[in-house]
Structure 1
Amino acid sequence: MTLPKTVAFFPEAAFGPALNSVGIAQAVEALGHKAVFLSDPGFLEVYQGYGFAAHAVNLSAPMPADQMAKFWEDFINGHIPNFNKSPYEQIDNYVKDCWTAIVDTARWAQKDLPGVLARVQPDLICVDNVILFPAIKQFGKPWVRIISCSENEIEDPDIPPHLSGCGEDDRAAQAAYRARFDEVIAPIHADFNAFLAGCGEAAYPLGQFFEASPHMNLLLYPEPVKFKRRHPLPPERFQYLEGCVRQEAAYEIPAFKANADEPLLYVSFGSLGSGDVALLKRLIAAVAKLPYRALFNVGGYLEQYGEVPDNVHLAAWYPQPSVIAQVDAVIHHGGNNSFTECLYFGKPAIIMPYVWDGHDNATRVEETGHGFKLHRSDWTEAELAAKLKACIEDPVMTAKLAATSAFMQSRNGPQTAALVLDRLLK
């Protein structure tokens, strides 16, 4: 046991990375160290709610937290028409707009981050983001990169490019995606490299906005679904955390007026994806005709739903790990938390991706036999019913999920991460 040290966590301002870091931070404190958070102002209360000190780092022009939340909600909702496009087609709209915004966050962070680090004086910094914040490299202490998205965020020539949704063996599609991504992103990337030069950092190759840490990199992706790489990741610098599933409060399944003893579904498109009310209403109508019960996460849009079927329950939020552990199948958007939680608890999933690594996770869940990929709008009720039936009754899929779940649950992701960080602190 080392003397108590301070570990600073700097997750992306999204609930997936935020809550994963909370789980690791709790395990770090269980070893006797102090965990603190560096945070976009809009997420300070999330970390404080778990009892951690949190220090604001502006990632955009300062504005009240409710306005910031509204900004990202509007950003996502404004792109709903693009959600039905292929990952390749999204490069010119959603992906381009995202990277433009992300580069801007790096510029803003550089204004606050040096001063915040000087005040906090961490002994180790853990950053979960897709872009380099130069002040972290320049602080003079070891830093760890957490990869909470798909593992293909760390590139390899033999695996699909990040965000592409390409199959593992579809080399032509992979090449086409890489070429188009590089073409569209080139001006944004040049702008970022100019920023890096101004901070005294070397330029990155086209398409790269971050690097692997020379100290340690923690991947939340589970080993049972990882890709076959041409260049395997060296274990002394890359640690898989098997989903790193956090603990949440217990959840009691509500009583249903219909289908009381039938299989239970959970449907969620995440805090931002719940803005696609039309899709969720269509799914509710479809599930109403099936021999199941269903919990629907509708986010902050509960008032937009009228009377619901007797086999459906709506809520603005669920303690997701506690819920997934109790259901029979899940329909979700492919966010990495939902993806890994389903695998951890051995639950089959139908993934309807809309953006970012949801495309990669949807392809991966199907090609590894853990569930199905389904287009968000191009599906019929008969197709949905058939895939749900297969999820619940297919013995091959059930066995595959049971093996993956047993493997993941035999590991303790947060504790593994904490022990790795403890070794670095020594």
Structure 2
Amino acid sequence: MMHSVHVLFVPLDTYGHINSCIGIAEKIIQLGHQVTFVLERAWLGKLTKWGFNEITYVDPSRDPNQGPNDHWTKSIDMIAETLPEDSLYKAQHQNAKEFEEFVFNALNFNEELKSIIEQVNPDVIVLDHYFTVPAIYQSGRKWIYMTSATPLTAIIHPDTPPTGSGYPTDGDRKQWQIFNEISEKRDGPIINRFNQVLMEKYGLPSLPEGSAFHPSPYLNIYAYPEDLDYLDVRPLPDKWKRFDNFIRSPQVGTNNQFELPDKLKNRHGKLIFVSMGSMGCSQLKLTKRLIDILSQSSHRFLMVMGSCKEMVNLPDNIWGDIMLPQVQIIPMVDLVITHGGNNSVIESLYYGKPMVICPLFYDQYDNAQRVTEKGFGNRINPYKCEPKELLDMIEHILNDQNMNDRCRKISEKMQKIDSQMEAAKAIINVVSEK
């Protein structure tokens, strides 16, 4: 019998990445092993109450008074003026300073992480990030690269659309080329500087061509349902494993079981969950527009409000709060209106719910397109669509029996497999492999 293994999780400190890691960490603990999370100080105490060990570091570039996720929510304000535009416009006009800070953020806590790794002495490290973190690469310990985003962000292949484009898999290759050229012109110099620092300051080998991270020589993992993944157009690379989901248990993050508010209990109409994600829900212009449009619907809406809650008045058919227990709510509803974050998409499919996807940035476009072309929902621009267009889309999806049947079938398939446990075992197995 294997001795107790100590797993160190180092996620990018956003709700999406942390929640995915929690989904696996729960299973590792069930197997009798130990888990520690390394998080920025803003998250102090947020995971210990759910039974996880926690060590914090200090990112000197951040405001010490910020709460969890505030740093990333504020970073969206830097690109707020481009949110209504399409992916190509964003590629052409992305804030270079914001992107450079995002890339080099991985180095801000590197020295402190080295000390933490020596202190914890883990058997294996799991990194959930977009960029290489040198302290992990140089730790002398086995480590696993994990992505909580769409696989397009990590696995580059000539037959898959450019990351962040939202282009169809059978789309115009010239359009792909234009997007790639624009992205390379924008991102290339920054990634090249990052690569130089990794090589010259930290002694790492050069980044793989077209990549911003070094894949693990031991194991690399991602979550994406088989029926949604790109396995129909590209193979799974060596040392990579796909899992259907990394969904956390519904009890994590709340002490209570969610109950439908009285405001909506006695109203007629379908029940619809609305969330633009932990970052998108901070955008007041978008929140007000969605409320105005959805107030014209005959259906009932549960809405994540974020920092906008105190700045808007909700109509009779909408109830909202700063945060909502999404994993508890999705099984209750008939439809999900989402920004298209990876966790939200996977959770919706796991519970068999069709989607209206309103992508705001990055891989949300890719998820929106993939969900649309696989027949699990439709995509729309929430800033520019006509109100009737969104309202009609809601009605169409609710009444599309074929789409609802597809969602039911993928849900049944996903729920037959304990993907989180499979991922946990794969991580533990890395420790014993020669």
User: What's the TM-score, normalizing by structure 2?
Assistant: 0.93
In the alignment, the residues of structure 2 paired with residue 229 and residue 161 of structure 1 have an alpha-carbon distance, to the nearest angstrom, of: 16
Number of the residue aligned with 1:169: 170
Q: Any idea what SS the aligned residue of 1:46 has?
A: coil
Q: Distance in 2 between the 1:181 and 1:211 partners?
A: 20
1:66 aligned counterpart, secondary structure: coil
In structure 2, how many angstroms separate the alpha carbons of the residues matched to 1:68 and 1:217? 27
Distance (Å, rounded) in 2 between the aligned partners of 1:325 and 1:215: 36
Moved more, 257-266 or 186-195: 257-266
What is the aligned partner in structure 2 of residue 283 from structure 1?
Answer: 290
**1:6 paired to 2:6:** yes
Name the amino acid aligned to 1:316.
I
Number of the residue aligned with 2:230: 227
Judge conservation of contact 2:264–2:300 (CA < 8 Å) in 1.
no
Amino acid at match of 1:156: H
Matched, 1:199 2:205: no
Q: What is the letter of the counterpart of residue 199 of structure 1?
A: Y
Residues 290 and 376 of structure 1: CA distance in aligned 2, closer, same or farther (over 3 Å): closer
Counterpart position of 1:300: 307
| Aligned twin of 1:121 | 121
Give yes or no for contact 1:157–1:230 (8 Å, CA) kept in 2: no
8 Å contact 1:166–1:174 — kept in the other structure?
yes
Superposition pairs of residues 272-421 of structure 1, within 5 angstroms? 272-306=279-313, 308-421=314-427
- Residue 376 of structure 1 deviates from its aligned partner by 2.2
CA distance in 2, matches of 1:297, 1:224: 28
Letter in 2 for 1:281: K
Superposition pairs of residues 97-176 of structure 1, within 5 angstroms: 97-153=97-153, 154-170=155-171, 171-176=173-178
Residue deviations 1:235-255 (CA, integer Å, cap 9, x gap)? x72222212221123321112
1:181 is matched with 183
RMSD: 1.9
Distance 2:265 2:246 in 1: 35
In the alignment, residue 244 of structure 1 is paired with which amino acid? F
> Aligned partners of 1:413 and 1:349: how far apart in 2?
22
Deviates more, 1:51-60 or 1:130-139: 51-60
Task: Tell me which residue corresponds to 1:190.
Answer: 192
Q: In structure 1, what is the Cα distance between the partners aligned to 2:71 and 2:304? A: 21
Bigger shift: 279-288 or 64-73? 64-73
> 1:209 is matched by which residue type in structure 2?
A
Query: Is the 1:256–1:293 Cα contact (8 Å) retained in structure 2?
Result: no
TM-aligned CA deviation for residue 311 of structure 1: 1.2
2:36 corresponds to 1:36: yes
In the alignment, the residues of structure 1 paired with residue 30 and residue 344 of structure 2 have an alpha-carbon distance, to the nearest angstrom, of 26
Structure 2 CA distance for aligned equivalents of residues 341 and 362 of structure 1: 14
Residue by residue over 1:211-257, the C-alpha shift from the partner in whole angstroms, topping out at 9 and shown as x without a partner, is 322211121111110114665114x7222221222112332111236
Deviations 1:30-84 (A, max 9, x none): 1111000111222233222322222223444354142785443332123211101
What is the deviation of 1:337? Answer: 0.9
Question: Residue 424 and residue 346 in structure 1: after superposition, are their counterparts in 2 closer, same or farther (change >3 A)?
Answer: same
Question: Contact conserved, 1:244 with 1:412, CA < 8 A, in 2?
Answer: no
Identity %: 29
Change (3 A) 1:78 1:138: closer
Q: Note if contact 1:40-1:58 (Cα within 8 Å) is conserved in structure 2.
A: yes
What are the superposed Cα offsets for residues 129-174 of structure 1, whole Å, 9 maximum, x if unpaired?
Answer: 0000111111111111111100112111100121111111122222
Aligned residues: 424
Mark the runs of 5 or more structure 1 residues left unpaired by the alignment.
none
Residue 103 of structure 1 deviates from its aligned partner by 2.5
Unaligned ranges ≥5, structure 2: 252-256
